[in-house]
């Protein structure tokens, strides 16, 4: 009888809905995650002052979310005491407190929450995540009116009640940050459904559509295909996603180029897909706007006028690829990346060129204007607890040293301290745990 009452309590707890924050441990983790469409989890530690500051806010947000989404199995806000449940924290790669992660239908979404630590911010985020990410169209003209800046996945279905569409909808929720999703039904989609329901990928830039040839009832296969199309090999780094990218812990290989210079970007993408795609698990291939990220260029003794150029940021140092014009010389860019992995770039930074290296005198570097930080970057750095004025001073001093080194007879490659490490999670916002960083 006691067991019967216990089962009834568990069923009632997860089906009737509750505004209370759920405490998660290793025993109920999978049950909680699988019992709700969305579970927003706060990973915390009682001794962390940032966790203590968030606690009442998170509790109030949980109450408000319960009012906004009272339906059974819709939304739950939960928390994990990482000191008591280190296995749960380790399972989800938590290395700072507090960390807030979103789970959808039991699966961890790839982007953790970095928005405002306020009731409105958290509840607003939940509401945004609950919106239907699929744009429905009734006519071809209507579909063309939708935003086309992102890559798009377009589905043509008989109705919304099919298994094929349900998989499409789940896919849209999983990849909503990376692609736009559109769906047409009935007559408007008839000509695209000659052999049944159909899905295509439409890239930006006017390239040809690509048809999905697998089974639409196989979600894992469909997601693998769409992820390959929606998540590009080369991603753009911005102030908004910089912290997220640094947390992946992989060195950056960055193309700095002008926004309008699409030719250099296409060449960079081509070289990477042809000869460096196997490095995807060890390096983040990125592109950066020269004007937005002029500060790192100044540290390298360069300005936006010198773009395009390529550099590696290992979170320890930045190393500049000697000559962008040689990017498509077979093996040249790969050799540069190999020198990072082997430690050669790091070794030469401290001890000068290897005996076998070319020690010819580099071209004279002309003086450049003192580096200044863009207003947007200053705001980002202040929010992370940095002093922008001090960083500008350091940049000016670094620029002077780079120019002196470049104009000397040492033959050293242009190498400076890492700049993008400043976009890592701030010690003024998180309690950072010990982490292993690439020391190259």
CATH topology classification for 235-432? Glutaredoxin (3.40.30)
Asked if residue 246 lies in contact with residue 313, where contact means CB atoms within 8 angstroms, the answer is no
* Res 119: pLDDT: 96
- For residue 206, report the phi and psi dihedrals to the nearest 5 degrees: 80, 10
Q: pLDDT class for 401, splitting at 50, 70, 90?
A: low
Tell me: pLDDT of 404 over 60.
no
* Res 177: pLDDT: 85
| CATH C-level class of 134-230 | alpha beta
* Res 144: pLDDT: 64
- Residues 286, 216: Cα–Cα separation, whole Å: 32
Tell me: pLDDT of 380 over 80.
no
- Going by C-alpha positions, the residue among 434, 438, 440, 437 that lies closest to residue 94 is 434
Q: pLDDT class for 206, splitting at 50, 70, 90?
A: low
Asked if residue 413 lies in contact with residue 345, where contact means CB atoms within 8 angstroms, the answer is yes
Q: Which of 184-188, 246-250, 426-430 has the highest mean pLDDT?
A: 184-188
DSSP assignment of 83-122? TT-HHHHHHTT--EESEEEEEETTEE-SS---S-SSHHHH
Run of H or E including 394: helix 388-406
**Each residue of 321-351: pLDDT tens digit?**
999 999 999 999 999 999 998 888 878 766 6
Tell me: pLDDT of 364 over 80.
no
Share the mean pLDDT of the chain.
82
- Going by C-alpha positions, the residue among 352, 356, 312 that lies closest to residue 336 is 312
Q: Average pLDDT for residues 1-29, to the nearest whole number?
A: 59
Run of H or E including 136: strand 134-137
Q: pLDDT class for 394, splitting at 50, 70, 90?
A: low
Q: pLDDT class for 51, splitting at 50, 70, 90?
A: very high
Going from the C-alpha of 8 to that of each of 5, 11, 13, 31, 73, the distances in angstroms are: 5, 5, 9, 15, 16
* Res 329: pLDDT: 93
Angle at which helices 163-174 and 219-230 cross, to 10°: 40
* Res 16: pLDDT: 37
- Going by C-alpha positions, the residue among 415, 187, 151 that lies closest to residue 301 is 415
Give the homologous superfamily in CATH for domain 2-130.
Glutaredoxin (3.40.30.10)
Find the range with the poorest average confidence among 24-38, 159-173, 202-216, 255-269. Answer: 202-216
Q: Average pLDDT for residues 237-252, to the nearest whole number?
A: 85
Tokens of 44: 């915390």
**Each residue of 131-181: pLDDT tens digit?**
999 999 887 777 665 666 678 999 999 999 999 999 999 999 989 888 999
- Residues 183, 138: Cα–Cα separation, whole Å: 9
DSSP assignment of 276-288? TGGGTTT-EEEEE
Delimit the CATH 3.40.30.10 region(s) of the chain: 2-130, 134-230, 235-432
- Residues 126, 104: Cα–Cα separation, whole Å: 11
Q: Is 98 left (phi over 0), alpha (psi -120 to 50) or beta?
A: beta
**Each residue of 74-116: pLDDT tens digit?**
999 999 999 999 999 999 988 889 999 999 989 888 788 988 9
Q: Which of 76-80, 280-284, 379-383, 404-408 has the highest mean pLDDT?
A: 76-80
pTM, two decimals, is: 0.66
Tokens of 270: 């081509």
Tell me: pLDDT of 306 over 90.
yes
């Amino acid at each position: 009888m006691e067991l019967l009452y216990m089962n009834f309590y568990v069923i009632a707890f997860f089906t009737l809905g509750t505004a209370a924050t759920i405490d998660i441990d290793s025993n109920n983790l999978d049950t909680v995650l699988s019992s709700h469409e969305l579970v927003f989890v706060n990973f915390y530690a009682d001794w962390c002052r940032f966790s203590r500051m968030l606690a009442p806010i998170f509790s109030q947000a949980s109450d408000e979310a319960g009012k906004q989404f009272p339906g059974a199995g819709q939304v739950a806000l939960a928390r994990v005491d990482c000191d008591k449940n280190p296995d749960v924290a380790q399972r989800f790669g938590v290395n700072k407190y507090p960390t807030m992660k979103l789970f959808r239908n039991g699966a961890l979404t790839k982007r953790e929450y970095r928005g405002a630590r306020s009731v409105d911010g958290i509840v607003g985020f939940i509401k945004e995540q609950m919106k239907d990410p699929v744009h429905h169209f009734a006519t071809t003209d209507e579909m063309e009116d939708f935003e086309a800046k992102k890559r798009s996945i377009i589905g043509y279905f008989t109705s919304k009640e099919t298994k094929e569409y349900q998989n499409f909808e789940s896919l849209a929720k999983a990849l909503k940050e990376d692609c736009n999703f559109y769906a047409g039904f009935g007559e408007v989609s008839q000509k695209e459904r000659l052999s049944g329901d159909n899905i295509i990928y439409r890239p930006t830039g006017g390239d040809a559509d690509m048809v999905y040839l697998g089974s639409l009832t196989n979600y894992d296969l469909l997601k693998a295909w769409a992820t390959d199309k929606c998540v590009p090999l080369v991603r753009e780094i911005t102030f908004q996603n910089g912290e997220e990218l640094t947390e992946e812990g992989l060195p950056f290989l960055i193309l700095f180029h002008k926004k309008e210079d699409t030719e250099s970007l296409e060449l960079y993408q081509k070289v990477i897909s042809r000869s460096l795609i196997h490095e995807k698990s060890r390096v983040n291939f990125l592109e950066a706007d020269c004007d937005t990220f002029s500060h790192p260029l100044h540290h390298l003794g360069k300005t936006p006028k010198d773009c395009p150029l390529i550099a590696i940021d290992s979170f320890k140092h930045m190393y500049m690829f000697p000559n962008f014009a040689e990017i498509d010389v077979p093996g040249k860019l790969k050799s540069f990346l190999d020198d990072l992995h082997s430690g050669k770039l790091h070794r030469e930074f401290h001890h000068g060129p290897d005996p076998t290296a070319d020690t010819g005198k580099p071209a004279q570097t002309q003086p450049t204007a003192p580096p200044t930080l863009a207003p947007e970057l200053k705001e980002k750095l202040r929010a992370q607890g940095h002093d922008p004025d001090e960083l500008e001073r350091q940049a000016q001093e670094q620029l002077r040293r780079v120019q002196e080194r470049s104009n000397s007879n040492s033959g050293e490659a242009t190498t400076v301290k890492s700049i993008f490490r400043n976009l890592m999670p701030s010690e003024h916002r998180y309690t950072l745990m010990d982490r292993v960083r690439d020391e190259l």
